[in-house]
Structure 1
Amino acid sequence: MSSEYNYDADAQFFPFFVLTITALLTLPLTYTLLRAPASTTTGKASPIASPYTPDNADVIDAQRAKQKRKERRLKRILAAAVGWATMAYMVYLMSVTARTAPVIWNPYDILDVGLSASEKQINSRYRRLSVTMHPDKRQPNAASNQTAELINDEWVEIVKAYKALTDDDVRSNWIQYGNPDGKQSTSFGIALPHFLVAPGSGKFVLALYGLLLGIGLPWFVGTWWYGMQSKTKERVLVTSAGNMFKEYRERMDAADVAAAVSSAMEFRQVLHGAKEHSGLETLDKALLQPSEDSAASDMAPKDRKALADLSDPVRRKTLALLWAYLTRLPLPDKALEAEKYDLVPTALQLTEAFRHITLAYGFTAPLLATFHLSQSLTQALPPTDRLPLLQLPHFTPAIIRRIEQTTATASKADHTSIQTFMALPPEQRQALAQAAGLTNDRLKTAEHVARQLPFLKVEAAFFKVQGEKYILPSSLVQFVVKARFLPPGTPNIPALKAQDLLDIDPAEGDMLAHQKQELEQHPAPLIYAPHSPGAERSPRWHVFLADQRQGKIAVPPFTFAAFDKRPFSIAVGGAGGAGQGVLEPTFEVVTLKMQFQAPPQAGEYRFQMQVLCDGFVGFDHRGEVVLVVEEMGRGGGGRRMRLASRMRMAVLQGKATAKGDQRAPRVKRVRGEEEEEESEFESGTDEDEESEGETDTDTDSSDGE
């Protein structure tokens, strides 16, 4: 037995082969490009309109365009387009190419008898054919292209068919191998057009195979495999993750996180070649020996010492460029200025990766520091001495310090927030701005932006178990946060309605209600960050619970990028908006929910709630919440929780409950450094109706900056 190789001389099956291989690569690639993000929203986020243009706007715009190109994944899109074009061309070739189907040897068809024909009928048919089809009885006909060889071959086929149906050995060969002559040679069909294997093309075919299979395929597989192995699931190099692990400490601030992030190897891909050392002396002089009026003077001594102690030039330059960006330090060298902004998107990604490292250890302080650094990187603010008013256009550190000195804010631990400044009467704001050197037109532009910022004010927070009235040990608890978007300086804020603070569970089995809650998600406006080179995105809010006494994370952060109600609507025109659409709050109460397992023992558990916005400084909220876990089968637990829920609702509405036989707990609200204590209310009777969703504990909340 021999092997026979049959090439696709007429290119009949070559398109099938190419189509199959191309589809195996193109379809998964297309799926990754079209795959919907994890959090889908029904509408597109709107930008905040402002005519303000920062310094170095051309450099910032160039970096933003660069980030957009990366996010568009042009290489993958181009590869998918080429794949689909190739598949379309192969389909076209398949439709226009004439194909010959393989002929199956069938003795019944050759003798022209039925499958149920008996041996007598087969013999009779063979005798009749021998009279007409035998070579001795037929003469070649040139008109029909008949030759003696063709006539002889036809008679041979008739004899084979007759023997296959009458001779036991021949019939056995036909049944087993499909041929009366027995087992035939193995045939391999190669789906390559004939011109590739024609004489004289051998060297080109060998070169093509060597390039594709010997070099291309191993390189592609090796690059993919080692690329997967060299990065973590956060898409950070394993070496970088190890370096940042070494920099972790239990007590860290945002500046320490920036120093830890600078150890990542990703920055060496940006600062490679001649960029490793160029401009380092200029950066050292500007940051380590700043003048009194320099922006770098805001660096703390420990941060300046940490920078000076670095011996690796690449890491030292990386950290110096990050500090130059965070302090908005102008650099004399245009190349350094471009590198300064080029590092920021990478630093933001690595900060999020470092956040996962802090979550593994479980301490609150390093986790908060990562969020604060993300805010500073987004808004280009120093991580140690952050001035929230710098987020508004035309505000400078000198102007802000004059305003704070006038309002005696500088003596306090925290700087003046945007909310505090916009809460002042318009005449007072104008007087402070003019005294600080800010013109009235620029103040109006800043106020116009402030009234569009998505400040999320927490109105209520409570625990519940869906469909249950009590919170029992080890039950699945939902922490519900009710909040409204109230931009700083917004006038005529409507009062809260009691039903807006309820969380009524959908009816059991109501799948439409659950699907509606999942699909109707609306993003907040895009982050207003004119100094950031990163691509435009909506802010995210991170909610977690911490044990304040131990300084540890009790419930890891839940991230919210979209909400069940539309936060803002778009109005036409507006002062300072240059005729663009102006965002106006809808004052709808949005609901944030995070789910976790209750402690296994009954009792009261006090947590510190943290609601952090990663896009703005001073928009965070923290407060104390209490989780009451009732004992299994213990009576009266529902009564205490209903009293606490009604007490919280009464305080939020500013109303006193009816007097009864049991006193409700005292609720405190903290605003800034002032502490207001509500009077002791007394609850009503136990027959008061309670919403099915209000099955939780009392919440002591405080408004953040």
Structure 2
Amino acid sequence: MLQYDNSAFYFFALSTISFYILPSWYSIFKRIISAIRVDDEAVGAVSRTSAEKEKAEQLKKESRAANTLKSQGFLINLGITSVLTLIFIWLLISVSQDGQVNSFDPFSILQIDAGADNKTIKKAYRSLSLKYHPDKNPGDRAAEAMFMMVSKAYEALTDETARENWEKYGNPDGKQSLEVSIGLPSFLLDSKNRNLVLVAYLLFMVVLIPYFVWRYYSDSSKYGEKNVMYDTYSWFHHALNENSIVKALPEVLAGSAEFRKRNIPKTAEQKQAIATLMNAVRSSMQKPKFNHPVCVKGNVLMHAHLLRQTDVLAKMEQEKDDLKYMLRMAPSLIDAMISVCKHQDALQTAINCIELGQYVTQAMWVKDSPLLQIPHFTAEEVSQCEKGATKVSTIKEYCAIPENERKGLSKFSDQQKKDVRDFLKIFPDITVECKVFVDDDEDDQVYENDLVTVQVKITRNNLADGEKAGLTHAPKFPFPKREAFWIILGQLKEGKIISIEKVLNPNKNVVHQIKFMAPPKGTYHFDLVVKSDGYVGIDETQRVEMVTLDSSSLPEYKVHPDDAVLDDEPTLFEEMLNAHIEKDSDDEDEDSDHEDDDQPKSAAAKKKEQLRKARQGADDDDDSDSDAEEVYADK
């Protein structure tokens, strides 16, 4: 007989809780250790130049326990795990005190010693049966269950058959297929706890579970690809078009749904701070198109970063935190902007969005010289480099000058000069090669409707064989960013996009393939654009020509006789279908043989019979044709 069993509940609860707390504590301790022992490369705290030192130290600081372990998710998990651990300890103590899982022991149930005589058994039975009788305990399910157990125990000790079954099988009713107890605490049977149990059940099933399901669904339904909100995608579709220029994109980025709660000025001090920043960056801003406070604040903060207004931001702690939050989200949001441009077939706007990502990474703007990416360079050093007979305007040109002839280093210390040398080794020097072909085509000709492959090979000349590219050198961007390239194939004049993809391969040689169907006969020119995801001034553009020939000039394809024979053979499905039809026909024929000849046939039976005769006639015709051929051969 089943009964509520405290001990069984203890074991069940222990095993269930252990499935959560063991991996949870492992994750917690792992996170604590990783927070104390910060892995510099894992968190991107790499200092290759002294210009990156401050950024690396800040990343280390944010990765330590004081910051990492105070996240909301970690604290909630820590609280739940701690509570469950206390319950686990209590269950262990309970098991140590009452760890015997209920089994049918009549002596224990009757509360007498094993081997007691019949007189003692009867006395214990009378006492307990009166105590737990349902008439004396109306509505008490626990007393009712105990009364039945006492009756079973008495029967097991007084009835010869029942006792034999108990001694042999452990149950007075004989051998059972399965003998278990219910793994629930016995207090659930107590009528005093009925209301409490019902309220707890309703709270859990009707309130908590639906709430968490609704919360999970409502949160997850807000986000699309790349963990960007659907409202943000809708905003980008509304704000971006084929005529969007680079200077207008910070305002579009500022209107993202991710910033709407955070970037609303709440106090007079915040409004004054935004007004102060506006005065500092107004001359370099595009005339605002959207006057919503969220767009205005985000636009101003983003321009303060692009124009390196660190002195003005230094006195605004709240605005610095808001800008940092925007910069954390910026890479994924800019990728979303590019995907929207791809969907709209706005090639030039997509290229502008990529350039925005470059400017955000390097804290530069459209009129700034690419030389500002060199560590410790300011407008003064750039001005020196752009003057004289050996003037340079790009980092590639600056690298080509002998070290002793490079300008802008006269006021630099030895450490700063070393930083410049180290940066020039890190800065990508790429070569782009392009090849157009059709797979498994020996004559290198492209015909309409062929699957064309445009293979792009990027070689990082600044890397040795086997060396991999590291993080983008971006001291002004507060987060680590992997070096990557955008590879675009399209037609700039027409604004048509064939392919646009980000390639994160860090190897010296990067090979990327673009596949598409060849257009109709004619000569086509495509623009291949390779743009860095984080550096300004190393973009490469090539013109790709493709001649498509008329497919009618190809030799006619002839099917091999063996392949033709295979095409005529029935498939497995057809064979099974035919076999099933023949079996049904045979069964119907057998049934008809047993019927009376005078009995009228159904329409289905007549149809099947006609089908059988038609097949038989066809077989006879085949036989007659074969006989005729044999006679003709004999003649």
Q: TM-score, normalised by structure 2?
A: 0.63
CA distance in 2: counterparts of 1:158 and 1:372, whole angstroms: 91
Choose which of 538, 545, 562 in structure 1 pairs with 2:505. 562
Deviation string 1:106-152 (CA, Å, 9 cap, x unpaired) is: xxxxxxxxxxxxxxxxxxxxxxxxxxxxxxxxxx9736997357675
Question: Is residue 346–residue 496 contact of structure 2 (8 Å, CA) maintained in 1?
Answer: yes
Question: Is residue 46–residue 525 contact of structure 1 (8 Å, CA) maintained in 2?
Answer: no
CA 152–326 in structure 1, closer or farther in 2 if over 3 Å, else same: closer
CA distance in 2: counterparts of 1:15 and 1:46, whole angstroms: 47
CA distance in 1: counterparts of 2:46 and 2:291, whole angstroms: 43
Flag the structure with higher helix content.
2
CA distance in 1: counterparts of 2:79 and 2:208, whole angstroms: 16
CA 595–16 in structure 1, closer or farther in 2 if over 3 Å, else same: farther
Aligned match of 1:325: 305
Deviation at 1:158, TM superposition (A): 3.0
Deviation at 1:82, TM superposition (A): 7.2
Matching of residue 453 in structure 1 with residue 432 in structure 2 = no
> Structure 1 vs Structure 2: percent identity of aligned residues?
18
Flag the structure with larger Rg. 2
CA distance in 2: counterparts of 1:387 and 1:190, whole angstroms: 77
CA distance in 1: counterparts of 2:513 and 2:82, whole angstroms: 44
CA 151–556 in structure 1, closer or farther in 2 if over 3 Å, else same: closer
Question: Is residue 528–residue 541 contact of structure 2 (8 Å, CA) maintained in 1?
Answer: yes
Deviation at 1:30, TM superposition (A): 11
CA 282–591 in structure 1, closer or farther in 2 if over 3 Å, else same: closer
Question: Is residue 63–residue 342 contact of structure 1 (8 Å, CA) maintained in 2?
Answer: no
Question: Is residue 5–residue 102 contact of structure 2 (8 Å, CA) maintained in 1?
Answer: no
Aligned match of 1:375: 358
Listed as ranges, the matches of 1:531-610 within 5 Å are: 531-534=476-479, 536-557=480-501, 559-563=502-506, 565=507, 567=508, 590-610=509-529
How many residues align? The count is 487
In structure 2, the gaps of 5 or more residues are 31-40, 106-113, 126-152, 166-171, 556-635
Question: Is residue 63–residue 533 contact of structure 1 (8 Å, CA) maintained in 2?
Answer: no
Matching of residue 426 in structure 1 with residue 403 in structure 2 = yes
Deviation at 1:417, TM superposition (A): 1.6
Aligned match of 2:253: 261
Q: Which residue type is aligned with residue 238 of structure 2?
A: K
Deviation string 1:600-621 (CA, Å, 9 cap, x unpaired) is: 5344332111112211111221
Deviation string 1:176-203 (CA, Å, 9 cap, x unpaired) is: xx989xxxxxx99764333566576566
Matching of residue 614 in structure 1 with residue 533 in structure 2 = yes
Question: Is residue 379–residue 615 contact of structure 1 (8 Å, CA) maintained in 2?
Answer: yes
Q: Which residue type is aligned with residue 369 of structure 2?
A: L
Deviation at 1:525, TM superposition (A): 0.4
CA distance in 1: counterparts of 2:70 and 2:525, whole angstroms: 45
In structure 1, the gaps of 5 or more residues are 35-42, 104-139, 163-177, 181-186, 291-295, 410-414, 495-520, 568-589, 637-705
Matching of residue 444 in structure 1 with residue 436 in structure 2 = no
- Residue 238 of structure 2 aligns to a residue whose secondary structure is helix
CA distance in 1: counterparts of 2:21 and 2:220, whole angstroms: 18
Aligned match of 1:193: 185
Choose which of 158, 163, 169 in structure 1 pairs with 2:161. 158
Listed as ranges, the matches of 1:97-108 within 5 Å are: 97-100=99-102
CA distance in 2: counterparts of 1:159 and 1:360, whole angstroms: 80
CA distance in 2: counterparts of 1:630 and 1:213, whole angstroms: 68
CA distance in 1: counterparts of 2:356 and 2:191, whole angstroms: 68
- Residue 478 of structure 2 aligns to a residue whose secondary structure is coil
Choose which of 244, 258, 283 in structure 2 pairs with 1:252. 244
Deviation at 1:388, TM superposition (A): 1.5
Aligned match of 1:339: 322
RMSD: 4.8
- Residue 331 of structure 2 aligns to a residue whose secondary structure is helix
CA distance in 1: counterparts of 2:531 and 2:72, whole angstroms: 29
Choose which of 387, 391, 394 in structure 2 pairs with 1:417. 394
CA 337–269 in structure 1, closer or farther in 2 if over 3 Å, else same: same
CA 594–285 in structure 1, closer or farther in 2 if over 3 Å, else same: same
Deviation at 1:102, TM superposition (A): 8.2
CA 191–147 in structure 1, closer or farther in 2 if over 3 Å, else same: closer
Deviation string 1:2-49 (CA, Å, 9 cap, x unpaired) is: xx9953332x14544675688599999999xx9xxxxxxxx9899461
CA distance in 2: counterparts of 1:595 and 1:361, whole angstroms: 20
Listed as ranges, the matches of 1:454-493 within 5 Å are: 454-458=428-432, 460-469=433-442, 470=444, 471-487=446-462
Question: Is residue 267–residue 346 contact of structure 1 (8 Å, CA) maintained in 2?
Answer: no
CA 188–55 in structure 1, closer or farther in 2 if over 3 Å, else same: closer
Aligned match of 1:111: none
CA 190–388 in structure 1, closer or farther in 2 if over 3 Å, else same: farther
CA distance in 1: counterparts of 2:204 and 2:538, whole angstroms: 56
Question: Is residue 454–residue 514 contact of structure 2 (8 Å, CA) maintained in 1?
Answer: yes
CA distance in 1: counterparts of 2:375 and 2:386, whole angstroms: 17
Aligned match of 1:644: none
Deviation at 1:462, TM superposition (A): 0.6
CA 347–83 in structure 1, closer or farther in 2 if over 3 Å, else same: farther
Deviation at 1:241, TM superposition (A): 2.4
Q: Which residue type is aligned with residue 9 of structure 1?
A: N
- Residue 353 of structure 1 aligns to a residue whose secondary structure is helix
Q: Which residue type is aligned with residue 482 of structure 1?
A: K
Q: Which deviates the most, 615-624 or 12-21?
A: 12-21
Aligned match of 1:400: 382
Matching of residue 361 in structure 1 with residue 355 in structure 2 = no
CA 522–632 in structure 1, closer or farther in 2 if over 3 Å, else same: farther
Aligned match of 2:210: 218
Deviation at 1:372, TM superposition (A): 0.9
CA 531–159 in structure 1, closer or farther in 2 if over 3 Å, else same: closer
Q: Which residue type is aligned with residue 526 of structure 2?
A: F
Question: Is residue 321–residue 340 contact of structure 1 (8 Å, CA) maintained in 2?
Answer: yes
Question: Is residue 610–residue 623 contact of structure 1 (8 Å, CA) maintained in 2?
Answer: yes
Question: Is residue 431–residue 461 contact of structure 2 (8 Å, CA) maintained in 1?
Answer: yes
CA distance in 2: counterparts of 1:477 and 1:247, whole angstroms: 34
Q: Which residue type is aligned with residue 382 of structure 2?
A: I
Q: Which deviates the most, 265-274 or 228-237?
A: 265-274
Deviation at 1:482, TM superposition (A): 2.3
Aligned match of 2:469: 524
Question: Is residue 608–residue 625 contact of structure 1 (8 Å, CA) maintained in 2?
Answer: yes
Deviation string 1:430-464 (CA, Å, 9 cap, x unpaired) is: x4543xx5556523322221212233322x21123
Q: Which residue type is aligned with residue 540 of structure 1?
A: A
Aligned match of 1:512: none
Pick 1 or 2: higher relative contact order, CA cutoff 8 A, min separation 6.
1
Aligned match of 1:125: none
CA distance in 1: counterparts of 2:85 and 2:449, whole angstroms: 56
CA distance in 1: counterparts of 2:223 and 2:441, whole angstroms: 44
Question: Is residue 155–residue 162 contact of structure 2 (8 Å, CA) maintained in 1?
Answer: no
Matching of residue 284 in structure 1 with residue 275 in structure 2 = yes
CA 151–63 in structure 1, closer or farther in 2 if over 3 Å, else same: closer
Q: Which residue type is aligned with residue 299 of structure 1?
A: S
CA distance in 1: counterparts of 2:461 and 2:547, whole angstroms: 31
CA 141–55 in structure 1, closer or farther in 2 if over 3 Å, else same: closer
Deviation string 1:538-589 (CA, Å, 9 cap, x unpaired) is: 12212120112311212232x22125x4x4xxxxxxxxxxxxxxxxxxxxxx
Question: Is residue 488–residue 499 contact of structure 2 (8 Å, CA) maintained in 1?
Answer: yes
Aligned match of 1:7: 4
Listed as ranges, the matches of 1:490-509 within 5 Å are: none
CA distance in 2: counterparts of 1:64 and 1:327, whole angstroms: 28
Aligned match of 1:663: none
CA 69–179 in structure 1, closer or farther in 2 if over 3 Å, else same: closer
Aligned match of 1:508: none
